[in-house]
Amino acid sequence: MEYFERRRQRFTLPVAPGGTPFQQRVWRELQQIPWGTTTTYREIAERLGQPAAVRAVGHANGRNPVAIVIPCHRVVGANGHLTGYAGGIATKRRLLQHEGALLV
């Protein structure tokens, strides 16, 4: 609820979702994306030191079991377009607008 009231911009609760070691690295990196900003799959892959792993980052992003807590909605395509989100693109757009990362 605090997130939707804009009183919580970062989740500090411990989460330990099951996944491959690579997925867990991606999810930890997703948690570093600040409120109100976006990044690309390529930028995540580069931060992980695996610039060729763009598709693998996308796959890990899609397997995120705790969306919003691990903010996978903050990842966009290289062209800045909104790409896949388990809750749908309209939900992703609303979340990013809520955070001020997209203009209404």
Work out whether the CA dihedral 16, 42, 37, 87 comes out positive or negative. negative
- 47-50 long-range contacts (CB < 8 A, ≥24 apart) are none
List, for residues 25-43, the tens digit of each pLDDT value: 999 999 999 999 999 999 9
Which SS3 state, helix, strand or coil, does residue 67 take? Answer: strand
Q: What is the pTM of this model?
A: 0.85
Residue 4 in domain: no
List, for residues 1-21, the tens digit of each pLDDT value: 677 666 666 767 677 778 999
Number of domains making up the chain: 1
Domain coverage including residue 72:
21-98
Residue 67 to residue 52: CA distance in whole angstroms: 25
Residue 76 in domain: yes
List, for residues 65-84, the tens digit of each pLDDT value: 998 889 999 999 999 899 98
Residue 12 in domain: no
Q: Look at residue 9 in the predicted model and tell me its pLDDT.
A: 66
The one catalytic residue among 72, 75, 76, 96: 72
Is 101 considered catalytic here? no
Show the DSSP H helices in the chain as ranges. 21-30, 41-47, 54-62, 89-99
